[in-house]
Structure 1
Amino acid sequence: MTTTTTATTTVEGKCGEGYGKCPSGQCCSKYGWCGKTDDYCFISKGCKSEFGECHGNNNESSTTPDKPNSTISDTTATTTTVEGKCGEGYGKCPSGQCCSKYGWCGKTEDHCAISKGCKSEFGECHDNNNESSTTPDKPNSITSDTTATTTSVEGKCGEGYGKCPSGQCCSKYGWCGKTEDHCAISKGCKSEFGECHENTTTTEKTTTENQESTIVKGKCGKGYGNCPAGECCSKYGWCGKSYDHCAVINDCQSEYGICSEEKLSIEGRCGEGFGKCPSGQCCSKYGWCGNSKEYCSLSYGCKSEFGKCD
């Protein structure tokens, strides 16, 4: 099939117009996400065949209509035919996983609790004291409340699915990834199901003689440490150089960075609401710091109260 779309996605997990094709073996859903479940792969659910594989209800690939799909027995399969699915027409979950009321494999209470409809014929099930229903005469091994460290549906996370793989973030909409849309707290990142960050997805961990330094890049304060040289630690525990970070009146934390009682310039900006330019720079008519004639000449509107002027 000829297409001018790029062969790989530019945003992890995304596909379609402006993003490109899914990795080999995956389907592009109606909403432009890569995956392998019915919601991604069924033509009847809007699967985009130009950006990945698609199947009809009989699991025959739409990209190879002249080649019949492998025959699937009418009897229950011992493994799932669609990754993450289980139950009638799909089969059993992998060893150690439970088949939920809705036919998905996983390890959370929503998957495994008999009271929530766990299907014991297609995987393990437990009652409320976590004793296996498949071996009532033998206590089940103790399982931590944080057992679900990976998602039960590829790429999904959150209530009923579990945590993202290590190093990934769970987005507002319940998808694992590493982009700003997944990881930014301001965009609804779910910290209980993966990592979350404010303005960066990079984490680092170093130790000093007395305490652990910043463990989330950009964070500061108790339990995180000091800001880099020349930066201020805001009342909310983030490093920066703006008035909100540095002003004592805004509860700047002086023990973790520098603080000031006068307005400081947000990098590059100056004037009312921003503050003064760094030493030796001029504040232009339009509120930007610089050194050229357009910034420093009074005839061009240089603001002497926020920097030098010629």
Structure 2
Amino acid sequence: CCSKYGYCGTTNEYCGNGCQNEFGICFSSSSTTTGKSKTTTVKVPISTVSDRCGPNFGACAKSNQCCSKYGYCGTTNEYCGNGCQNEFGICFSSSSTTTKKSKTTTKKSKTTTKKSKTTTKKSKTTTKKSKTTTVKVPTSTVSDRCGPNYGACSKSGYCCSKYNYCGKTDEYCGTGCQPKYGICK
């Protein structure tokens, strides 16, 4: 069987859920007996590359680590927060930020002919502040490389070119420069 991660084998990890039947045989994902279904859980292989994770590597080797959206293992918010890949490690629960608009209500005065009665209600304004969390991009572990597959330039003051290389000239810092992974002019 060919697992969803591209590895060959004969156990449920390879032949069960996510098995690629175009590259080998597969077990059915569930079998029905007496009206109840049996679900098979596929265990993700552990990464053999130190501190790397994701579809090309597997799960983080340490069970208490998170797999960042860039494919690196760690335990801080950079790894466990926004974009964390929960198939390959643990993740912090995602918190949603909501901003409520203020609402103003005013009732008009009411007059009757028998007795004059005027009622005015004061308007109430409620504003809730939103919380913004900035996630720092991990630094690249590959010399002079940067971008979505590598992370930020490892040298301070360097630009990340549109071709995912770090440098200081206009070729790197000009058109197509990626400010998320280094400085740009």
Q: Report if TM-score (shorter chain) is over 0.5.
A: no
TM-score with structure 1 setting the length: 0.24
Larger proportion of helix:
1
TM-score with structure 2 setting the length: 0.36
